[in-house]
Structure 1
């Protein structure tokens, strides 16, 4: 099983066909899954694709 690699901001924007500004808006206002390490954004393509499939909502399978 191959380990999924993290995508950069440019790569995720190209994958989704959106601008950097739109990606930042979705991260801040729509909770698009993203991980920030210092000043660098990284994205798991499987998390982002799942988020898109769920119309911009994160499925929480570990409810408390």
Structure 2
């Protein structure tokens, strides 16, 4: 088996990884196109995709001063 294959993460794992609650993640999925996949009744995630989404500003506040903080 290829060791480079990333495992799927659960909602709970993503909550712990990001330090946010389920409601925040659900809002990001519904309103901000957070990469998530419905498998039956469960949400599954690839942490690498979540990281890329966050780095591209997906989770930033809409009126964010993000650009100023980074400089």
Shared fold per TM-score greater than 0.5: yes
Larger Rg over CA atoms: 2
Residue 17 of structure 2 is aligned to residue 5 of structure 1: no
Runs of 4+ displaced beyond 3 Å: none
**Structure 1 unpaired stretches of 5+:** 58-64
**Structure 2 unpaired stretches of 5+:** 60-71
Q: CA RMSD in A?
A: 1.3
Matched residue, 2:26: 24
* TM-score computed with the length of structure 1 as normaliser: 0.83
* TM-score computed with the length of structure 2 as normaliser: 0.75
